Amino acid sequence: MENIKADQIKKTGTTTVGLVCTDGLVMASDQRATMGFFIASKTAEKIHPLNDRIAMTIAGGVGDAQTLVRWMKAEIKLYELKNEKTISVQAAATLLSNILAQSKYYPFFVQLLVGGINTDGTSDLYSIDMLGGATQEDFTSTGSGSPIAIGILEEMYKKNGTIKDNAVFAAKAVSTAMKRDAASGENVDVIVIDKEGFKRLKKEEVKKLISA
């Protein structure tokens, strides 16, 4: 079998962010996928709903990340059917962490965020590395543009802010990172999760957040 070179692997170079709010959660990302210096996709989806109340952002190898999204959706569905209750954000993050830890000798090349809203109305956000290490955060960022995005969030994030307060900062953090990180680009994708469930904002709504 011919060896696959690093620049032939499709990657979500990426800037993703997650922010916990008093009434839910906000996540945002760019939409560029690269293969070396080639832009393989301008519409890559990097924020995936795992159920109605929990979502996951992806950064790293696209194939690895998409496999984990499918795996998590299936496991969460099985959990909820077996236990007859909605899985908590913490349990979902622990599940993903265990999957990654079991594969540490042949790791998935990813950096992930798992976040959402629990049945009691509280929100949680976890950052999970390729070996299964998980940390709970109020806000964080992953991917090649994360140093730029996290600087914006450190300054602007409102710990006791609502989704309306913090959505603009999530969009601006990704937008700013796209201007300085070559692996991040194209569009800003923003989702919110509140008591009504998962919602992806329209392009017009995202543009208003960036220009606010």
Sign of CA dihedral 45, 72, 97, 191: positive
Catalytic site positions:
14
Q: From CA 107, how far away is CA 99, in angstroms rounded?
A: 10
Q: From CA 94, how far away is CA 115, in angstroms rounded?
A: 12
Q: Which of 97, 137, 194 is nearest to 17 (CA)?
A: 137
Type and span of the H or E element at 96 = helix 89-102
- 190 by Cβ neighbours in 10 Å (0-12 / 13-18 / 19+) ranks as buried
